[in-house]
Structure 1
């Protein structure tokens, strides 16, 4: 899918939406210098182009009850395209896998697991990682304090 051209107002509106997408069209328009109908048209364009993937409520992990976040590094045994596809399909099928990154360096993937306590973590880690074929090793680091969590992405390169 081709990238859509964005102007300065688009960048401002996307930043506002990433901060709080529950704002009304009127409030967004006031902050971005647009009419509510112009805001609605732009948001529709972002959705049609796939730039806005979905709209969700982001929970604060510090306030969610019994949430255990774990950062797992994973090294695959084989480096074939099929091995990567199989691993990706496995992690994408589990709803407790919050994020997955294919990375460079000492490991192949970083996987963020979100579970409800240690017993649940063990169950999910066993299902997703320990029993998975083609994993040479994985390590787990438990998040002690989620100092900053954000989903905000830059929309424009710094000048």
Structure 2
């Protein structure tokens, strides 16, 4: 289904919310697309020693509620969306979910990289290099107005 857009959301970087929701609303309208929002709870949480039983699943449930609540506030009624939270390695989970959904596009926000991201590669960079569909990387700037 090529009219499906996967929208990975990093709940810890709310500075990109205005950009990602505005841009994906515009894209969904222009292409009669369904937006599929996904947030990934890092699988590394489960690898920590002495992690209380159920912590990872509780984190997934909380993230699922948060992403749904945010999308309900940010998307207008004429935009069709669905959301989910998944536990796994972030970049590969995003790529696998896009493949599973048959997404024609991944629209991902990119925030200012840290030194570790420059050396190891950020999530958006890994998604761009490995995805089997088109990837639109959205960065905060004054250059594009998506609200038109």
TM bin, normalised by shorter chain, reads under 0.3
Q: Which has the higher strand share?
A: 2
Q: Which has the higher helix share?
A: 2
Q: Which has the higher contact order (CA 8 A, sep 6+)?
A: 2
Give the TM-score, by structure 1 length: 0.21
Larger Rg computed on CA atoms: 1
